[in-house]
Amino acid sequence: MLEFAWPWFFYLLPLPALAWLLPEARQQEAALRTPQFKALASLQTTEAGIRRRFIWRLLITLAWCALIVAGSQPRWVGEPISLPSSGRDLLLAVDISGSMGTEDMVVNNDPVTRLAAVKKVVGEFVERRRGDRLGLILFGSQAYLQAPLTFDRSTVNTLLAETPLGIAGGKTAIGDAIGLAVKRLLDRPAENRVLILLTDGVNNVGEVTPIQAAQLAAQEGITIYTIGFGADQMQVKGLLFDRTVNPSAELDTQTLTDIANLTGGLYQRARSTQELAGIYEALDQLEPIEVDQETYRPEKSLYFWPLGIALAASLCVAGLWLLLSWQGSARTLRPPHGEVAS
């Protein structure tokens, strides 16, 4: 709908008419003189002159009305949009170390790396978390914040999808990832802090151990859900025959379990893409924190349209005035019929 920020501006609309009715204005108008006054007056007595005078007054009226409309600050107000009425602050910590390049996962019957499977499953999880403020931490040898807490799920999903393997180093710093999450969640409500950590290995580098970081998270009221990812069996081709290996032999299940227990979370094991999707669907059932519902209506300012009309009408008035002045000058300077200017 159309609204005006300053509707009182319309009270100025009859101002020119009031000024015209003042006795002083009439007396001053009677004393007004121009160099081509007689020529202009003669033009106004003709049919073309009367038509030009009407157009002139119409343009002046249009310019003034458009200027008043622009001054009233018109704006278009859209339909009400409800802001998220519930939600959590969810930080997603994803392991992107070298071992996440192991091809022991299947997506659409095609073998893919662990990281590719995580991108697909976590991406779908992110899209479902409408109303939550999401953030993304990527970690390998170092941990860094890829996306701060935001309602923009599309950006978080895009940043995850574009993450290359091993960009943070080939080792795994689980403790540093938890410590970074604690730092980023400290300014959020205590009952609204959740970290979902996914890894396929063991902490083998970093400034702080996972247990120390988990104890700090527990002190700050941060709940950590841990996910151990990777298949238990994988066929590896040899020179004479294939052999079966355990690609997740280094997965530190005990540490991940202790982290979850210390913070009131839950540890879950995902050996396939389907199991990983099921875990994130279960995490989707987290009880949100109720907050007061808010709505807002998007606004678009429209003042520049009437302002442009006022400017165009003013230019037309000025052009018409110059035209009449030029015609008046031409008649004044033109010699009478039969005479030759010397």
Sign, CA torsion 155/160/162/167: positive
**What are phi and psi for residue 100, nearest 5 degrees?**
-70, -5
Q: Which of 255, 202, 210 is nearest to 230 (CA)?
A: 202
What is the CB neighbour count within 10 angstroms for residue 255?
21
Output the CA–CA distances (angstroms, integers) from residue 56 to 60, 65, 67, 69, 319, in the order listed: 6, 14, 17, 20, 10
Mean pLDDT, contiguous 10-residue spans, the chain (342 residues): 86 78 54 49 59 79 88 85 68 93 88 92 90 91 93 92 91 95 84 88 92 94 93 76 79 94 93 91 71 70 87 84 68 52 44
Q: How far apart are CA 268 and CA 281, in angstroms?
A: 12
Inter-residue contact 249 to 290 (CB < 8 Å): no
Identity of the residue numbered 98:
G
Q: Output the pLDDT for position 32.
A: 46
pLDDT, tens digit (0-9, with 9 covering 90-100), for 34-54: 555 554 554 455 666 677 778
Instruction: Indicate yes or no: pTM above 0.75.
Output: no
The beta strand positions in the chain, using DSSP E, are: 2-4, 74-77, 81-82, 86-87, 89-95, 105-107, 110-112, 133-139, 143-150, 193-199, 223-229, 234-236, 243-245, 267-270, 289-290, 295-296, 299-301
Inter-residue contact 168 to 136 (CB < 8 Å): no
User: What single DSSP character describes residue 129?
Assistant: -
Buried b (16+ CB within 10 A) or exposed e, 168-205: bbbbbbbbbbbbbbbebbeebeeebbbbbbbbbbbbeb
Q: Output the pLDDT for position 188.
A: 78
For the chain, the structural domain boundaries read: 2-78+299-333, 89-291
What does R_g of the chain's alpha carbons equal in angstroms?
Answer: 38
Q: Which of 114, 129, 98, 103 is nearest to 194 (CA)?
A: 129
Q: Output the pLDDT for position 53.
A: 74
What is the CB neighbour count within 10 angstroms for residue 74?
20
Extract the tokens encoding 41.
């007056």
Sign, CA torsion 211/212/218/222: negative
Domain 89-291 has CATH 3.40.50.410: yes
Q: How far apart are CA 260 and CA 54, in angstroms?
A: 83
User: What single DSSP character describes residue 340?
Assistant: -
Q: Output the pLDDT for position 87.
A: 67
